[in-house]
Homo-oligomer: A and B are copies of this chain.
Amino acid sequence: MNLTGQCASSNGTDSGVDAYNEPYRPQIHFSPSVNFMNDPNGMFRHPGNGLWHLYYQYNPTAPVAGNQHWGHATSEDLWTWTNHPPAISPDKPGDGIFTGSAVVDVNNSSGFFNASVAPEDRIVAIYTLNNARETQEIAFSTDGGYTFTKYANNPVIDLNTSQFRDPKVHWDVQTSHWVMTVSLPQVYEILFFSSPDLKSWTELSRFKVSGLLGFQYECPGLFQVPTVGGPNDGTKTWVLWISINPGAPLGGSAMQYFFGDWNGTTFTPHDNAARIIDFGKDFYAAQTFFEVGNANTTTAIGWASNWQYTNDVPTTPWRSTMTVARQLSLRYVRYNPMYSNYVLVQTPISTARIEVGSFLNISTPTSESHSIDFAGWDGAVDIQASFLLPGGSGVELRIGASGNQVLKIGAAFGDPVTVYVDRRFAGRSWADGNVFFADRYSGMVMPNKRDDGSTHFSLHVIVDRSLVEVFANDGEASSVSNVFWDNDALPEKLDIVLGNQQVIMESLVVQKLRGTWNCSV
């Protein structure tokens, strides 16, 4: 049994080992080999070897939610993942190891480590134990995050309530303390706690009843992001994001964010606006990686699903997929012709490591539509197109598959540019039967102004077997969409349809992305 092999079963047994080649199996996105996954968890980057550790809410015994463990995988590049056995498991029936975070306790603030454990291997996980009530517990790892020992004096926080979860801990440089961001979901309060040692926690403040409420607040995160343009150009700004479920505007699960000031004690948003992170239905519970000493980038991964249908999607023997890793920033953009402010920008990490040639590469402006045949290609596809504005009605990318299936991703040009996803004609058979699997949604961005005064619009689309990610204007608007093609079809062609002769496509690159799950079964 080789549980550290790249595609070894993620539930710690041999039985589920497969070739990651089933129908709908994502080729460049993380999915567990078998059974059910939800929130990404406890993510950190090892400060010694640079390895990225992804944990995730995992049911190792069934392809539906329940029996929550922390599944585990690692990656050198955030594309190629190696499965490991669950890292933290419940001690008794009825316990659930719910969402949490992990930190690298290099200075042994917790006292869990002795000199024999290298500073970069000193991992502490902070998670919610769910049973009749929810409490915050911690566990430590002396082997760099592969195995954990639960703290003997758990819980570390107990407010005697059944609804108190999803701790995300960061090292606060202003106070030289650990800070925990955690939710009282059903009273719409985000609590901030401080600790010198990860064991003893003192409440600092609460952020209450703001933005969209839905049924409850889950999976909060407080972090800094690089800030580009506008009055705070070149600085870092604090972002508080919150997942809401159910009751999102599009139904079910969604994420919103606030940006503002964190003074070590209190988060104060810059305004009272409610901003949604993703304009589709399949982005939830995103978390940032804990990194030691990286002040330049903030990297996150989200869960590419929605609680309204995640237990019913037609994938087997696993359910759920993570998004591609994306770097976060705030960018100062126009909201309309008269108002500018920051938006949270999501930029997928570079695909350079997994590019294996291009289907098409146009760098001369054109007003002609193009078609590309993907036949025979079973990896993923990366599409990047840029358009000169104003002028032209818009563009539609039509990703086709057998049976006249087509997934439409388009933009109607103007002020603003409306970006849309239409999955109505892709995977109709399964979608027909689920009343919550909405077919269409849209977001908006303003045309980007360049230094030379011209304006443009860009569209970046990553197409994998059962999901597509869309990033408009380099991540100012984005959406993740599940697509379960009929007849196990793979995308086999792309038509890039320019709306009229006034559309000027400045450039177009369509790349092949190799599957990253080259399993040896």
Interface residue ranges, A against B (CB under 8 Å)? 163, 186-188, 208-216, 246-247, 249-252, 271-276, 279, 308, 335-339, 408, 410, 416, 418, 420, 422, 424-425, 432, 435-444
Contact of A338 among B187, B246, B425 (CB under 8 A): B187
Of all chain B residues, which has the CB nearest A249? B249
Are B216 and A441 touching (Cβ within 8 A)? no
Docked-complex contact B442 and A251, CB < 8 angstroms: yes
Q: How far is the CB of A213 from chain B (nearest CB, A)?
A: 5
A238–chain B nearest beta-carbon distance, Å: 17
Q: Which of B216, B335, B441 contacts A438 (CB 8 A)?
A: B441
Complex Cα gap A262–B329 (Å): 38
Instruction: Assess whether A274 is in contact with B271, with CB atoms less than 8 Å apart.
Output: no
In whole angstroms, how far apart are the Cα atoms of A338 and B246 in the complex? 15
Cβ distance A68 to chain B, nearest Cβ, rounded Å:
20
Question: In the complex the two chains form, is B247's CB within 8 Å of A250's CB?
Answer: no
Q: How many copies does the complex hold?
A: 2
A424→B439 contact, CB < 8 A: yes
Nearest-Cβ distance from residue A206 to partner chain B, whole angstroms: 13
Please measure, in the bound complex, the distance between the C-alpha atom of A215 and the C-alpha atom of B334, giving whole angstroms: 10
Alpha-carbon gap, A439 to B279, bound state (A): 16
Q: How far is the CA of A92 from the CA of B228 in the complex (A)?
A: 46
A338-B187, A420-B251 known; A438+B440 contact, CB < 8 A: yes
How far in angstroms is the closest Cβ of chain B from A427? 13
Q: Are B273 and A338 in contact (CB under 8 A)?
A: no
Nearest to A445 among chain B residues (CB) is B247
Known: A335-B213, A338-B163. A441 touches B251 (CB 8 A): yes
Q: Are A444 and B274 in contact (CB under 8 A)?
A: no
Are B441 and A440 interface neighbours, CB within 8 A? no
Establish whether residues B247 and A444, one from each chain, have CB atoms under 8 Å apart when the complex forms.
yes
Query: By the criterion CB–CB under 8 Å, are A336 and B209 in contact?
Result: no
Contact B209 A272 (CB under 8 A): yes
Option from B271, B336, B438, B440 in Cβ contact (under 8 Å) with A215:
B336
CB distance from A268 to the nearest CB of B (A): 12
A273 touching B186 in the complex, CB below 8 Å, given contacts A439-B439, A444-B246? no
Contact of A410 among B275, B416, B435, B444 (CB under 8 A): B435
Q: Is the CB of B247 within 8 A of A276?
A: no
Tell me, rounded to whole Å, the shortest Cβ–Cβ distance linking A133 to chain B.
Answer: 13
- Whether the pair A436, B416 counts as a contact (CB closer than 8 A) is no
C-alpha spacing A439/B438, complex, angstroms: 6
Q: Given A272-B211, A424-B432, A188 and B440 touching (CB < 8 A)?
A: no
Asked if B336 contacts A212 (CB within 8 A), the reply is: no
A418 to B273, CA, bound (A): 26
Q: Which residue of B lies closest to A410 (CB)?
A: B435
Q: Decide: A339 near B435, CB < 8 A? Known: A249-B250, A273-B209, A276-B249.
A: no
A425 to chain B, nearest CB (A): 8
Residue of B nearest to A252 (CB): B442
Does A416 contact B209, Cβ atoms closer than 8 Å? no
Asked whether, in the complex, the Cβ of B250 is within 8 Å of the Cβ of A441, the reply is: yes
- Closest-by-CB residue of B relative to A161 is B338
A209 to B437, Cβ gap below 8 A? no
Which of B308, B408, B440 contacts A439, CB < 8 Å? B440
Q: List 12 A-B contacts (CB under 8 A).
A: A186-B337, A187-B338, A211-B273, A214-B444, A215-B335, A246-B416, A246-B444, A247-B443, A249-B250, A251-B418, A436-B440, A436-B442
